């Protein structure tokens, strides 16, 4: 027997997704991706028309969503299918926009923000967050094993326009479009949010879910050279944010993302609200990196 009704459950999911996405991007981006995805999913789950995510304002404590009372009559299995799809699409959009590394701890943070009660409620209606997480980790590992395609002279011009997460310095969100820039302010890509989400929704809802027979218990996340430079800088001396950003030639936005990743990897730890230090794991990593 469910302990909470549909309205409360979906509200908590939306709030938790807003928190997780907002930590990695702008609050305005987090709101818009949730609003756009929910609206797009109405074509697959008509009852989502009873859910309205507001983008004209948001409260200090987070996002605002209005749920019609009719939403509480939706069958748990159908609700579970919709929430499962919502989580998967939001995750894929986040990794598409920012990078696979940033999305690796997405489900872990989502569960932490939801709490055990709501994670259990989701499991009861068929949303298995642990399974989604394992699938995502396997996808990350398999992507890293893919061979690099051979390059050809005639494709040289096209290759020059390609970029990686390391070359992205800042990003801005405006009117349903995410703009990515490098360190010199050059526009790297323009991502149209609604089109990307529509494509992901089609892919996620039409593919059959399948269990992965053999999954690794841990996933090694690659530390970039810039992140290694930051760790080495912190090992040698006390460093403030402004100095680190200047010496690393990165934006504050990129710096904050690096710190979050290193905290998640347990190479850094908080010693106060706005101060971090190297952990034993971080020192060990630096020692092994030098070899």
Neighbours of 267 (CB within 10 A): 23
Asked which of 103, 118, 143 is the last residue of a domain, the reply is 143
CA distance 153 to 151: 7
Going by C-alpha positions, the residue among 102, 144, 114, 135 that lies closest to residue 265 is 102
In a domain, 205, yes or no: no
Ordered alpha helix ranges (H), the chain: 6-24, 27-40, 76-97, 100-103, 106-114, 116-124, 129-145, 156-160, 193-206, 225-236, 241-248, 252-264, 280-290
- Give the predicted TM-score (pTM) of the model: 0.54
In a domain, 45, yes or no: yes
- Looking at the structure, do residues 15 and 113 belong to the same domain, yes or no? yes
Asked which of 143, 159, 193 is the last residue of a domain, the reply is 143
In a domain, 260, yes or no: yes
C-alpha pair distances (Å), 82 with each of 56, 57, 135, 195, 291: 24, 25, 18, 19, 49
The domain of 242 spans 225-290
Give yes or no for a contact between 137 and 104, defined as CB atoms under 8 angstroms apart: yes
In a domain, 148, yes or no: no
- Looking at the structure, do residues 14 and 138 belong to the same domain, yes or no? yes
- Looking at the structure, do residues 120 and 27 belong to the same domain, yes or no? yes
- Looking at the structure, do residues 16 and 136 belong to the same domain, yes or no? yes
Per residue of the chain (291 residues), what is the pLDDT tens digit? 567 899 999 999 999 999 888 887 777 778 888 998 999 899 889 999 999 998 765 555 578 899 999 999 999 999 999 999 999 888 887 777 666 555 567 888 899 999 999 999 999 999 988 877 777 666 555 554 444 444 444 444 444 446 676 677 776 766 666 777 777 777 777 776 666 666 656 655 555 444 433 333 333 357 888 889 999 999 888 888 888 888 888 888 788 878 877 886 788 888 877 788 899 988 988 888 876
Asked which of 102, 125, 143 is the last residue of a domain, the reply is 143
In a domain, 104, yes or no: yes
Give yes or no for a contact between 172 and 179, defined as CB atoms under 8 angstroms apart: yes
Total number of domains in the chain? 2
In a domain, 28, yes or no: yes
In a domain, 126, yes or no: yes
């Amino acid at each position: 027997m469910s302990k909470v009704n549909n309205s409360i459950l979906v509200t908590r999911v939306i709030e938790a997704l807003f928190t997780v996405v907002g930590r990695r991007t702008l609050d305005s981006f987090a709101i818009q991706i949730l609003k756009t995805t929910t609206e797009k999913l109405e074509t697959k789950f008509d009852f989502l028309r009873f859910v309205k995510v507001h983008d004209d304002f948001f409260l200090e404590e987070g996002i605002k969503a209005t749920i019609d009372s009719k939403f509480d009559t939706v069958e748990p299995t159908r609700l579970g299918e919709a929430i499962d799809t919502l989580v998967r699409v939001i995750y894929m959009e986040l990794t598409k926009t920012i990078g696979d590394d940033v999305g690796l701890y997405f489900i872990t943070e989502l569960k932490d923000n939801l709490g055990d009660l709501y994670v259990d409620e989701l499991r009861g209606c068929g949303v298995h967050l642990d399974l989604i997480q394992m699938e995502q980790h396997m996808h990350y590992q398999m992507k890293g094993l893919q061979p690099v395609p051979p390059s050809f002279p005639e494709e040289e011009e096209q290759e020059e326009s390609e970029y990686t997460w390391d070359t992205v310095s800042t990003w801005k969100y405006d009117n349903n479009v995410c703009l990515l820039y490098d360190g010199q302010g050059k526009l790297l890509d323009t991502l149209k949010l609604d089109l990307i989400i529509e494509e992901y929704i089609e892919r996620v809802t039409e593919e059959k879910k399948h269990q992965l027979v053999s999954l690794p218990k841990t996933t090694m996340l690659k530390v970039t050279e810039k992140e290694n430079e930051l760790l080495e800088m912190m090992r040698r001396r006390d460093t403030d944010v402004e100095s680190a950003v200047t010496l690393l030639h990165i934006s504050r936005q990129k710096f904050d993302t690096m710190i979050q990743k290193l905290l998640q990897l347990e190479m850094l730890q908080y010693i106060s609200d706005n101060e971090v230090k190297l952990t034993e794991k971080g020192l060990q990593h630096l020692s092994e990196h030098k070899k």
